[in-house]
Chains A and B, each alone.
Chain A
Amino acid sequence: MFQVRIHGRGGQGVVTAAEMLSVAAFAEGRYAQAFPSFGSERMGAPVVAFCRIDDKEIRLREPVMEPDAIIIQDPTLLHQIDVFAGLEQDGYILLNTNRSFDALGLSDYLSDRPPERLCTLPATEIGLKHIGRPIPNVSLLAGFAALSGLIRLESVIEAVTKKLSGKMMEGNIAAATEAYNLIKARMEEVKHA
């Protein structure tokens, strides 16, 4: 079983991201379970959502406390809550920022983690560019697909088409494609570094 925890703020589509991840995994014939942290839903408040993916039926109903991957939609959360809590030693970290881990002062903290599992993505900027709104969730999902190889870009796009329509759908597909290619290229660099 693969467990993902997504951190963000109300209004950033955190819950939708977990739901779309589960739809993408389902599109690939897998079992998936997505659920929100059920906190008070307010714009700007910290929000957590979870997604489990497996090849068999998922019965477990506890919150994801030991994730295999963490997606952080808002870097300001790093100062507010322990977003890395319980992350497996070889777990994936995908952070929405236009800065580097180094510039954010995270290099030391992340130094004993495998570099090919860590990545930043300017997902807010990609969102602004393609959908005209600072919503990073779909870009990050596509980025996660590129980083982990766990799901395909086509499946993320399929989830987007199920959940959204019209211009939001088209913009998000463009955002997903750009994010995916960006991280795919970055990971190639890491591999050859």
Chain B
Amino acid sequence: MLKQIEGSLAVAEAVALCRPEVICAYPISPQTHIVEGLGKMVKAGKLAPCEFINVESEFAAMSVAIGASAAGARAYTATASQGLLFMAEAVYNAAGLGLPIVMTIANRAIGAPINIWNDHSDALSQRDSGWIQLFAETNQEALDLHIQAFRLAEELSMPVMVCMDGFILTHAYERVDMPTQQQVDAYLPPFDPRQVLDPKEPVSIGAMVGPEAFMEVRYLEHARQLQALERIPQLAVQFKEIFGRASGGLTQTYCADDAETMIVAMGSVLGTIKDTIDEMRAEGHKIGVLGITSYRPFPLAQVREALIHAKRFVVLEKSLAVGMGGILATDVRMALSGAGLHGYTVVAGLGGRAITKKSLHQLFRHAVKDELEPITFLDLDWNVVNKQLERERQNRHSGPIAENILHDLGVVSAKFG
């Protein structure tokens, strides 16, 4: 059924259709509306049997999800930013134990400086945790990916994060096609756990493993991610058969067939990029896009296939490996080892900096002429940066950076844009 609703609520409804049995909740912006929405449904008895557990921290949220999943319950939670960092130890444990928890990440920057706005730093900080990480472009895709996530997680017995851009998607009202309970039930069978804590047949989960077997256990985690590379496209095909729309998969391309310049990105910025590319195509530029839906497992072969016929690629990412450069870009370059393409990294949109069509036009126009630097910080205000660097040269006691810069800008409170 078509609905005009907030992204967070759309995800809450989709998760409810997946019949979760335990939902652990700890509020943090911009994720809060999702668990609030689910909490209301549980309280109203619309979602039963389901236990909604208010926990005291994100660490507790993931720990409770681990316990619930180990006891054979379909478990769900959501978080963002510092919340994800705070639960990091348990995040690794969930993957290491092979527990099929589904978690929404409402992507938000990591402090300091404290910032509630969107970028991909939080999810990418957990890229090696063993979780599958899927990135949504729209609220429709966010909704659809959650349904696929439970199926994938439970089939392979591994946890899945569905990443959606904080505020940009979570707080946006847009049209979504909400599936029926019958459709979701047809796609997602009841949870049949590979391992379960059952007093009638006692087992332990979480043995200490020494050097004699640790590598093997860890390799099997990797092997399951490789299986996911096979399963994700198949599950997208089955999804289309039941729900009637294409959603999910490893990657997606747009205007890619004859493209000499390919832009690579993840998440909601793909929409703005596609609009920009339509305008550049109208002027005769051969430019296209590769969207990465599955960041972990990273689809090396599909990325190589999508880019190999181009002359150059630009990885535009909302993340920064401080002291190195791009994070997504590193993986894309790995996919193109030895291919000899020009590759450029663009770090954009950190901490909610708006990524505008105007800036993308300028950027892509430089790219098609191979006039980009190896790494670009989109719309970085060099005056601000240089002023602070100069201050540090002049004065040993130059003080806190963030406060200095806000003072230079005359900003009294954080604002968007």
Chain B residues with CB below 8 A from A63, complex form: 354, 416-417
A23 at the interface (CB under 8 A from B): yes
B416 touches A48 (CB 8 A): yes
The answer to the question of A79 belonging to the interface, with a C-beta cut-off of 8 Å to chain B, is no
| Cβ-based interface call for A121 (8 A) | no
The answer for the CA separation of A187 and B33 in the assembled complex, in Å, is: 40
Chain B, Cβ-Cβ closest to A37: B416
Interface-facing stretch out of A38-46, A67-75, A132-140, A166-174: A38-46
Q: Is B183 engaged at the interface, CB distance under 8 Å to the other chain? A: no
Chain B 42-75 interface residues, beta-carbon cutoff 8 Å to A? none
Which of A22, A23, A40, A62 lies at the interface centre, i.e. has the most chain B CB atoms within 10 A of its CB?
A: A62
Q: Which of A18, A32, A61 contacts B269 (CB 8 A)?
A: A61
Cβ B414 vs Cβ A40 within 8 A: yes
Given A32-B174, A34-B172, A60:B416 Cβ within 8 A:
no
For A58, the chain B residues whose CB sits under 8 A away are 174, 271
Are A35 and B268 within 8 A (Cβ)?
Answer: no
Is A26 an interface residue when CB atoms closer than 8 A count as contact? yes
Q: Check A35 against B413 for contact (C-beta < 8 Å).
A: no
Q: Is B274 an interface residue (CB 8 A)?
A: yes
- Known A-B contacts A26-B4, A26-B175, A63-B417; the reply to A35 vs B167 at CB < 8 A is yes
Complex contacts, A34 vs chain B, CB 8 Å? 172-174
Q: Does B330 contact A (CB under 8 A)?
A: no
B30 / chain A contacts, CB cutoff of 8 Å = 38
A61/B173 contact (C-beta < 8 A), A19-B6, A32-B4 known: no
Chain B interface residue number, banded: 20 to 34
Are B272 and A61 in touch, CB under 8 angstroms? Answer: yes
The verdict on B275 contacting chain A, using a C-beta distance below 8 Å, is yes
A39 touching B173 in the complex, CB below 8 Å, given contacts A23-B4, A60-B272: no
Is there an interface contact between A35 and B416, defined as CB atoms closer than 8 Å?
A: no
Q: Shortest distance in angstroms between B3's beta carbon and chain A's nearest beta carbon?
A: 8
Interface residue tally on A, bucketed by range:
20 to 34
Which residues of the partner chain B approach A62 to less than 8 Å between Cβ atoms? 272, 354-357
Q: Mark B248-281, 1 if CB is under 8 A from A, else 0.
A: 0000000000000000000011111011000000
Interface string of A94-132 (1 = CB under 8 A from B): 000000000000000000000000000000000000000
Given the interface contacts A23-B173, A26-B4, A65-B356, does A59 sit within 8 Å of B275 by beta carbon?
yes
In the complex, whether A33 has a CB less than 8 A from a CB of chain B is yes
Task: Please measure, in the bound complex, the distance between the C-alpha atom of A158 and the C-alpha atom of B63, giving whole angstroms.
Answer: 44
Q: List B residues 355-371 near A (Cβ within 8 Å).
A: 355-357
Q: Could you tell me if B173 and A35 are in contact, using CB atoms closer than 8 angstroms? A: yes
Residue of A nearest to B352 (CB): A38
Q: Which residues on B sit within 8 Å (CB–CB) of A61?
A: 165, 168, 268-269, 271-272, 355
Q: Which residues from B are CB-within-8-Å of A35? A: 167-168, 171-173
Flag whether B393 is at the interface (Cβ < 8 A).
Answer: no
Which residues of B in the span 125-175 have a Cβ within 8 Å of any Cβ on A?
Answer: 165, 167-168, 171-175
CA distance A161 to B168 in the complex (A): 26
Report A-chain residues with C-beta under 8 Å of the C-beta of B117.
38
**Taking A36-B167, A38-B117, A62-B356 as contacts, is the C-beta distance between A31 and B175 under 8 angstroms?**
yes
A18 contacts across to B, CB distance below 8 A:
173
Residue B415 interfacial (CB < 8 Å): yes
Measured CB to CB, the nearest residue on chain B to A22 is B173
- A62 to B414 alpha-carbon distance, docked (Å): 18
Give CA–CA (A106, B144) in the complex, Å: 49
Tell me the complex Cα distance, A82–B352, Å.
21
Q: A26-B175, A33-B173, A60-B357 are in contact. Are A39 and B414 (CB under 8 A)?
A: yes
Q: For the complex, give the distance between the alpha carbons of A65 and B416 in Å.
A: 12
Q: How far is the CB of A156 from chain B (nearest CB, A)?
A: 14
Q: Which residues of B contact A (CB under 8 A)?
A: 2, 4, 6, 30, 116-117, 165, 167-168, 171-175, 268-272, 274-275, 352, 354-357, 413-417
Of all A-B residue pairs in the complex, the 5 with the closest CB atoms, nearest first, are A59-B271, A26-B4, A34-B173, A35-B172, A37-B416
What would 11 A/B residue contacts be, using CB atoms closer than 8 Å?
A22-B173, A22-B174, A31-B175, A32-B4, A35-B168, A39-B416, A58-B174, A59-B275, A61-B268, A63-B354, A65-B356
